[in-house]
C-alpha cells in the first residue's frame, strides 16, 4: 500500500534483536562461550553467564557495542569481589581508555591499539582480541537467524513508499550483511552500517545531514542505546519491545507508518509505545 507518491521520510533500523531474532542465540551460543574460553570461569561459569545475559539482554546496555558490554561485565565482576576470574583494575583501565579514545569500537582499531601496548595493557587487549575473534568465528557457525514475524511486511511497506531504509547496528558489518541476505531482507536496505562505521549517534547525524531538507527520520530499535542515539540525534524513535516483537512490528506497520508517510507523526504519538518499552528495560539495569 502506498500512502503518497513521494514521501519525505527516512527509516533507520537496528538489526539483531530488532529485525532479526538472533540476539539471545548469539549471546548464549557465541558471546558467552567465547568469553568463558578466554577467561575460564570454572565453578563460577553459571553465575558469570547469568550476569552476561542480564547485562546484554535485560538491562540498559541491551544492544550495546560488545566491547562496552565487556567493560561493564568486568566492572560488575569487581563489585562482586570476583577479581580472580577477571582482569585486574589496572588491566581494565587499558580497555576503558581504548573504548573512550578509539575512532570506532571495532576489531581493526583494537588491533592497532594492541600493537602499541605493553605489560598488563597488552595482556588484556590481547585477550579481548582473542575473544572478539572467537565470537565472530562461532557466530559464523550458527543457524540462520529468522526475521521477526511482521518485520518483513513492515520493511516491504517502507520500500513500496520509496523511503530509504538504513541499517545502523553496533555489530560487525559483514556479519549483518550476511545475516540480512540469508534472511531474505538484504534487498530492502539501501545501506548497512556496522561497528566499523562509528557510533549510532554519529551515523544518525550523518544520515540526517545527507538527507534532503525536510526529510523526517525515525529510528526503530530494541535497546535503550537505540533510544538514546535517536534522542541525541534529534530523530523520532519507535521501540521493538523485547519479548513482544511481533506486536511491536504490527503496531509499527499499522499505526506508525501511515502517520510517517502522511506527515502526521510526532513524539506525542510515539510516547505510549516508548513508555511501555521503558517499563520493560530501563528499570532492569544490572
CB 67 within 8 A of CB 93: no
CA gap 40, 33 in Å, rounded: 10
Q: What is the mean pLDDT of residues 192-214?
A: 88
pLDDT of residue 4: 47
Computed over every residue of the chain, the mean pLDDT equals 90
Query: Starting at the edge strand that comes first in sequence, how are the strands of the sheet with 165-168 ordered?
Result: 191-193, 165-168, 9-13, 216-221, 236-239
DSSP state string for 57-76: HSSTTTT--HHHHHHHHHHH
CB 263 within 8 A of CB 163: no
CA gap 17, 7 in Å, rounded: 28
73-124 tens-digit pLDDT: 999 988 887 767 778 777 789 999 999 999 989 999 999 999 999 988 899 9
Question: Is the pLDDT confidence value at 7 over 70?
Answer: no
Question: Is the pLDDT confidence value at 2 over 70?
Answer: no
12-26 tens-digit pLDDT: 999 999 999 999 999
Domain spanning 9-21+146-281, CATH class: alpha beta
Question: How many residues belong to the chain?
Answer: 286
Q: What is the mean pLDDT of residues 118-139?
A: 94
Dihedral sign of CA atoms 107, 143, 166, 174 in order: positive
| Domain extent listing, the chain | 9-21+146-281, 24-139
pLDDT band at 282 (very low <50, low <70, confident <90, very high): low
Question: Grid coordinates standing for 11?
Answer: 527509516
Buried b vs exposed e over 192-225: b needs ≥16 C-beta within 10 Å?
bbbbebbbbbbbbbbbbeebeeebbbbbbbbbbb
- The Cβ-side half-sphere exposure at 155, using a 13 Å CA radius, reads 27
pLDDT of residue 3: 46
- Cβ-Cβ contacts under 8 Å for 37 (sequence gap 6 or more): 134
CB 44 within 8 A of CB 69: no
71-83 tens-digit pLDDT: 999 999 888 877 6
Amino acid at each position: 500500500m502506498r500512502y503518497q507518491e513521494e514521501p519525505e521520510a527516512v527509516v533507520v533500523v537496528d538489526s539483531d534483536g530488532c529485525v532479526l531474532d538472533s540476539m539471545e542465540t548469539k549471546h548464549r551460543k557465541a558471546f558467552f562461550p567465547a568469553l568463558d574460553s578466554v577467561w575460564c570461569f570454572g565453578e563460577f561459569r553459571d553465575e558469570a553467564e547469568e550476569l552476561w545475559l542480564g547485562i546484554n539482554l535485560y538491562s540498559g546496555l541491551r544492544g550495546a557495542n560488545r566491547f562496552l558490554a565487556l567493560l561493564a561485565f568486568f566492572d560488575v565482576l569487581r563489585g562482586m569481589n570476583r577479581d580472580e576470574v577477571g582482569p585486574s583494575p589496572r588491566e581494565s583501565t587499558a580497555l576503558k581508555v581504548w573504548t573512550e579514545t578509539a575512532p570506532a569500537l571495532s576489531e581493526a582499531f583494537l588491533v592497532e591499539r594492541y600493537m602499541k601496548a605493553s605489560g598488563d595493557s597488552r595482556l588484556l587487549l590481547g585477550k579481548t582480541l582473542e575473544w572478539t575473534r572467537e565470537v565472530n568465528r562461532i557466530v559464523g557457525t550458527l543457524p540462520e537467524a529468522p526475521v521477526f514475524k511482521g518485520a518483513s511486511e513492515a520493511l516491504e511497506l517502507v520500500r513500496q513508499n520509496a523511503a530509504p531504509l538504513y541499517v545502523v547496528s553496533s555489530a560487525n558489518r559483514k556479519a549483518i550483511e550476511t545475516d540480512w541476505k540469508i534472511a531474505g531482507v538484504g534487498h530492502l536496505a539501501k545501506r548497512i552500517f556496522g561497528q566499523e562505521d562509528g557510533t549510532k549517534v554519529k551515523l544518525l547525524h550523518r544520515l540526517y545531514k545527507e538527507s534532503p531538507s525536510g526529510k523526517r527520520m525515525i529510528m526503530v530499535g530494541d535497546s535503550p542505546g537505540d533510544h538514546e542515539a535517536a534522542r541525541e540525534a534529534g530523530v523520532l524513535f519507535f521501540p521493538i519491545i523485547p519479548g513482544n516483537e511481533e506486536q511491536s512490528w504490527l503496531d509499527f506497520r499499522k499505526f506508525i507508518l501511515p502517520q510517517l508517510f502522511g506527515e502526521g507523526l510526532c513524539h506525542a504519538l510515539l510516547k505510549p509505545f516508548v513508555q511501555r518499552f521503558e517499563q520493560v528495560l530501563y528499570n532492569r539495569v544490572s
